[in-house]
Every structure is written in C-alpha cells, then in structure tokens.
C-alpha cells in the first residue's frame, strides 16, 4: 500500500493553525495581565497624537488624569511614565537593574557610533566597563581636582570678556558667553587644548562646532516617528535621519583628527603621561585585560559624549538662573549680600567657597527644580517582564521618569510654580542633587546617573556665583521683569526659547577684571 505525501495545502493549513494557536494563547495570556492606566491608543500611531512640542508638559497633563504610573503607546511600542517620587525611586533604585538598559533609537545608531557611548549603549559588559572607566578614571575626584586650574583660567577669561562687552552699556547675550566658556573648559580637559579657537586649525570653526553640538542635543531629544513606527522608518518623514547622518560625518571628521593628533603625540615621547581625557581613553584602549576591547570608534564615541555632556547642561542652567533672578530682584539682593559678606569685594569666588554660600547653592537647586535640563531624563528600557505597583510591565517597554511633574507636585513643594530658593534653606537644605533624594533629580539616579554630575555641579555653582558677584544685572530697553520671555524648547536639553539678553555693570574693583 502506497503512503500518501502531504500536499502544500496541508502544510499551509498546519501553518495557519499554528499561528492561530500562538496568537490565541498570547491573547489569553494578556487577558491575565494588568497594565498601568492610560489613554486608549489609535491604530498605527498609538498615542503620539497626544504628544506636543514640549513632551514633558504633555505627559504632565496626562498624568493628572491617569495617575503617577501610566502606560501609553508610541506607535507600536509601549511606554510607561513615572511621575511621582515613589515611581522614580522604584524605577531608578528599587528595580534599577530591571530598567537599566536603553531603547534603540536612530539617534543612538547614527550619532553615537552605533550605541558606542555611555549615554545610549545598552546594558551589558561594554556599558559596565564604560561606567567603571568614567567613575574610576575620567571623573575621579583626583582628576577633576587636577583640572581645577583650567576651570579657574576659563572663568577669569569669561569675566574679562563680559567686562569688555559691558562697556558702553551694550546688552550681552549671556548664553553665547556661557557656551563659549563651557566649551573651552571641557575641550581643554578632554582634548588638551582649545582646538576650536586656534588660527591654524582648519578642521572646524568655533561657530560650526557650536552648531554641531546644538544639533546633537536637538537630534538626541526629538521624537523621531521612525523609532515608534519602524515599518515607515525608511521614509524619514521628518528628515531627522538625514540630519543625523550629516552630523555624524562632520563629527567623525573632527574626532578622527583628534585621535590622530593624540596618537602622534603619545608615540613621540617615551613613557608618555596622560595630559587629558582622550589620552586616558587611548591608554585604556591599549589595556589587554579589558573585558571588552575599546575600539577606535569607541574612543571617538566617548570623546563626543564628554564634549557634549560638559557644555550644554551648565550653560542652560546658569542662563535659567539669571533669568529667574531678573524677575525677582529681591532674591538678587539676597544673593549679592551673601557674596559680599562671605567673599568680600577683593577677590573672585573659588570652588572651595561654595560650602560657605548656602544661598547660592539654594538658587542652583531651585533652578534645577524649576528648569531641569533633561525633564524626563534619558529613556530607559525594561530588560524583563516585571510587576510594579500591582501592574505588569513587559520586557521591551520604554520607561520615562518625568522629573518635571515631580518638581511641580504641590504635595512636595509649596507654591511649586514660584521660584523660591528659600525653600532649600533650613529643613529642606538636606535635599541634594546627587541622586539620593528623588524629589530633585537633575542628574538622574542609579546605575544610569550622569557620571559627570560632580563636574557639572562645580561649573554651574562657580559660574553663577562669580556672575552674581562680579556684575549688576538688569533687563534692556526698560523691560519689566514680568515681560521677560520664559518659554523653553525641547531636545535632549531644555534651553530658553529666546536667549537672555541683559545689561551688566561691574560691581567689584576694576583691577579684578584684568587678572
């Protein structure tokens, strides 16, 4: 008797039955899951229609309706948003290991050498090694202390430049000056010199480099539709991917020059001692005991990360601080009274003075509360299925912590929309910005906390203190404080939409501005 062979129709029927059973079992399984509350998603776009040009504010409004833990869909991907101290603590501390990875975005792929930097690299041996490098080598207390002279020199340069710019009562664009000093500080610490203002350097002009950094921050913070709806990614509907590829080529040309120049210098001297952070990275890359080899593109990715992270955050925070003070002259007077009493009028403020200037520290904290540079931190990714507050969060869910909402919580802050540094004097003085107090998280918390926060804090505090100590500030053209525009724009950082322009006047002996 001859055995009959199955026909293609039988194979097809079996395949359809298998798929049907798989989908049915998945649906039945999902019926037993309890997801956080949230708006019903639309087909294809999910809840992207609810996200405006300032996503942190859009999510804030949604959290008022759905609560401190809610789930949305960006295209086909689930996104969970935590908007309270309790949720932030759970995501960033209690269950930190479950949410320590990063989503894969076009920005991470195209602008950071395929997720090779500390910000966007996924959780794993490479990232753990990178974090250790940052903590033990690049941002160690000893190394930051060794670079203090650079920060002092560049601060003095800024004060001289502002003094010259103030002659004749001409208004100054504060952000431009702050960005310049931040870039000079970080380029000397990371690259070993002011690459960008040397006449013989034809790689990139200072103006081009500032534009590159601005573009990097913008493109790493945008909502790229292709990240949420992958099957239309190739269309690049917003044009962001094209801009990312263009930016990547510009940065790579510059970073190739940096690495080549450092390698040539290191090879020319026997027993060469590292002078800057790129030297340190290149020395680490040669270490045969590394768990994961640090390739050339990794050195470039870290260098780019260090440059970007060290310039934008401090300039943005100080500009917001001065803007808020111009709206409240009485706070300005209180700050200068403390400076005159503690520092006097015969010298500039030094980094070691900050512990004796509690009101200046309070102004910095209040600025970070009102105007967090990264209001939703950098997105995280669930590494596994888990339960949180009685809800199910599936592996692959993107996680956002909306610190902007936390900083506006009336249960935590009296008059949360008012700029009031005094709230950090006395009992609340203990609230710190170093990731342990979840009411205030300008640098994040947990394993993914910004590794360079201590440097950022030093630059922000000393910059603000010296700008307040050295100059009287007022708005131009008889502008009233209430007329000062305080709108913001969104990217990986959140700067003022309209840069601050102010009239400044020296308030210390003139010889100090010539040091």
Residues 6+ apart with CB under 8 A from 96: 446, 447, 448
Which pair of tokens denotes residue 500? 């601050």
Distance CA 158, CA 466 (A): 10
d(CA 254, CA 204): 7
Distance CA 83, CA 389 (A): 13
The C-alpha atoms of residue 238 and residue 332 are separated, in whole angstroms, by 43
Show the tokens assigned to 7. Answer: 């026909």
Alpha-carbon torsion angle 502, 507, 513, 515, nearest 10: -140
Closest CA to 294 of 280, 315, 311, 308: 280
What 3-state DSSP class applies to 15?
Answer: helix
420 has binding-site annotation: no
Alpha-carbon torsion (427, 326, 162, 320), positive or negative = positive
Structure-token pair, residue 300: 């470039």
Inter-residue contact 90 to 59 (CB < 8 Å): no
DSSP 105-125: -HHHHHHTTTT-STTTPPSSH
The alpha carbon dihedral of 417, 420, 425, 426 has a sign of negative
Q: Please list the residues that pair with 506 across neighbouring strands.
A: 471
Contact 438, 406 (CB under 8 A): yes
Q: How many whole angstroms separate alpha carbon 128 and alpha carbon 118?
A: 9
- The binding site for heme consists of 450
- The binding site consists of 450
């Amino acid at each position: 008797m001859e055995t009959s062979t199955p026909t293609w129709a039988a194979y097809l029927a079996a395949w359809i039955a298998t798929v049907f059973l798989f989908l049915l079992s998945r649906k039945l399984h999902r019926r037993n899951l309890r997801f956080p509350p949230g708006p019903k998603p639309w087909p294809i776009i999910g809840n992207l229609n609810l996200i405006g040009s300032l996503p942190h504010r859009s999510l804030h409004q949604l959290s008022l309706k759905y609560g401190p833990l809610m789930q949305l869909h960006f295209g086909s991907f689930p996104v969970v948003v935590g908007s309270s101290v309790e949720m932030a603590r759970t995501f960033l501390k209690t269950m930190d290991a479950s949410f320590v990875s990063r989503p894969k975005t076009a920005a991470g792929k195209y602008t950071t050498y395929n997720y090779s930097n500390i910000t966007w690299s996924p959780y794993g041996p490479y990232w753990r090694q990178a974090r250790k490098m940052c903590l033990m080598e690049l941002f160690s207390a000893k190394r930051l202390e060794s670079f203090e002279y650079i920060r002092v020199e560049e601060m003095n340069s800024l004060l001289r430049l502002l003094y010259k710019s103030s002659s004749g009562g001409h208004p100054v664009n504060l952000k431009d000056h702050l960005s310049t000093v931040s870039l000079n500080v970080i380029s000397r610490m990371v690259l070993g010199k002011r690459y960008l203002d040397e006449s013989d350097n034809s790689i990139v002009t200072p103006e081009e480099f500032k534009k590159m950094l601005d573009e990097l921050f913008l493109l790493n913070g945008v909502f790229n539709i292709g990240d949420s709806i992958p099957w239309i990614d190739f269309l690049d509907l917003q044009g962001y991917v094209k801009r990312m590829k263009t930016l990547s080529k510009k940065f790579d040309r510059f970073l190739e020059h940096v690495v080549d120049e450092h390698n040539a210098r290191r090879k020319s001297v026997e027993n060469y001692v590292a002078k800057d952070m790129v030297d340190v990275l290149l020395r680490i890359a040669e270490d045969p005991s590394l768990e994961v080899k640090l390739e050339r593109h990794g050195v470039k990715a870290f260098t780019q990360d260090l440059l970007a992270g060290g310039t934008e955050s401090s300039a943005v925070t100080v500009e917001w601080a001065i803007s808020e003070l111009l709206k409240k002259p009485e706070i300005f007077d209180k700050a200068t009274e403390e400076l005159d009493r503690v520092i006097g009028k015969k010298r500039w403020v030094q980094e070691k003075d900050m512990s004796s200037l509690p009101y200046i520290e309070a102004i910095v904290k209040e600025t970070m509360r009102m105007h967090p540079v990264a209001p939703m931190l950098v997105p995280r990714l669930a590494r596994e299925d888990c339960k949180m507050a009685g809800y199910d969060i599936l592996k692959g869910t993107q996680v956002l912590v909306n610190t902007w909402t936390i900083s506006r919580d009336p249960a935590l802050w009296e008059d949360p929309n008012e700029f009031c540094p005094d709230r950090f004097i006395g009992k609340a003085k203990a609230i710190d910005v170093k990731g342990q107090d979840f009411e205030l998280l300008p640098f994040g918390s947990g394993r993914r906390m910004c590794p360079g926060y201590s440097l950022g804090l030093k630059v922000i505090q000393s910059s603000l203190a010296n700008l307040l100590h050295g100059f009287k500030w007022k708005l131009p053209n008889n502008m009233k404080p209430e007329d000062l525009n305080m709108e913001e724009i969104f990217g990986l950082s959140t700067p003022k939409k309209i840069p601050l322009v102010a009239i400044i006047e020296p308030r210390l002996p003139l010889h100090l501005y010539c040091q």
